[in-house]
Structures are given as structure tokens and as C-alpha cells.
Chain A
């Protein structure tokens, strides 16, 4: 079974631009979560989508948004990019969002650099 895939793997943008990152979960997985990883703040939860609905959201500004499609694929969008948005963005998928023993499996990440 194929793992979680993320595209693109690398992105370079300039301040003020917007960016869209894509995540395809493991086949059959319905929950997709996004995390931001930076050297200063570590790994931080952005949001989770389950059955096309946002189930949970982390403490990030409204410039960060996401959505999930009927095939469980998810996208996240960052508008008006700032230098501090430079990070590794990780997507994780799991079977269900029931808060039980469900394990999240991560993709390889998208490394975003904002100049």
C-alpha cells in the first residue's frame, strides 16, 4: 500500500505570495492532519480534516487554511507569506478521527522557503 504523498517536495516563494500544498493520504484513510515544523517552534499542529470537515484547528492565523476533498486528499493554503512561514510542512493520515488508538502516518513533507 502506498504511503502518504505530498507535493511539491520543495517550494521557494517570496513574501506576500500565496502557496498551496497538497497531500494524498494512504488509501482508505479518511483523516488528514497538517503540522508545521520549524527549528524554533518545533512541531506544531495546524489543522485536521475528516470527511471533508475541519475537525480541529491549531493556534495559527487565518492566513493558514485547508480543505479536504471527497477522495480524502487535502490541500493547505498559506496566503500573504511571511519569512516566518519558512518551514517543513508535514501531512499525516489515519483511518478514523475517533481519538482512540488510531496511528497517524506521515508523508515526506514539503519544505517551504520564503525569501
Chain B
């Protein structure tokens, strides 16, 4: 079974500062993928960044980077230079790499991020 844990229900960050959103995962699979999504109040889930379990380098996408520590089973999202538009719910998710899982994503409970001006 796969499980995602996000221990921070809510976070505040000052505009232009960096913030780290925590994500730990549990799986017995050797191959898997980790995803971060952003959900604004409108409801749509927006894909941010992906990290494969065999990727040796941490993934980066613009202001987003994923701090992947495989031995600790953590995949924290780092947002640099926060903007007011970053205020949203953030979800960490994972998917196993086998036909058994197909495209099933397992999500964490999410972290609400509020950016202060």
C-alpha cells in the first residue's frame, strides 16, 4: 500500500521569501513517481513538479524545486520568491510504476499556504 503524509495543515510565508512544504511517503515499491499539485480556491488541480524514484537529481520547475531524500522517504516542495498568487492548497501525491496501479494517484491531506504582503 502507498501512503502520503503532509504534516503541515497550514503555512504562512512572507511575500518574496522561500517556503518548504513537507511530504513524506511510504511504499514498498521500488519504482514510483512523486508529484506536487496546487489547488487554488477555484478547485482545479494544477500540476507543479514531478520526481521519479530513480532520478538522481532533484527536480526543478521555475520557482519550484523538489527536495528528494529517498532514504528518508521525503519529497518536500520548495517555493522560492513567494508571490501572492501562490496562496492555495498544495498536495503531494505518488503513483507506483506497475500495471497494478495504472494511473492511480494517492494524495496527501494537503497544506494550505498563505502568502502575506
Contact = CB atoms under 8 A, between A and B. Distances in A.
Given A45-B104, A97-B103, A106 B37 contact: yes
- Give the secondary structure class of A's interface: strand
B107 A43 contact: yes
B98 interface: yes
Contacts of A58: 104
A50 B99 CA distance: 12
B90 interface: no
A67 interface: no
Classify chain A: how many residues form its interface, as a range.
Answer: 20 to 34
Given A42-B110, A99-B96, A99-B98, A107 B44 contact: yes
Interface string B84-117: 0000000101011111111111111110000000
Nearest to B91: A43
B103 A99 contact: yes
A101 B104 contact: no
B43 A111 contact: yes
25 contacts: A31-B102, A33-B104, A42-B107, A42-B108, A42-B110, A45-B106, A56-B101, A56-B103, A56-B104, A58-B104, A90-B43, A92-B103, A94-B103, A99-B95, A99-B97, A101-B33, A101-B50, A103-B35, A103-B47, A104-B105, A106-B46, A106-B47, A107-B44, A108-B43, A109-B43
Given A55-B102, A106-B44, A106-B45, 11 more contacts: A33-B104, A42-B107, A43-B93, A45-B104, A56-B101, A56-B102, A99-B100, A99-B101, A101-B50, A108-B43, A111-B43
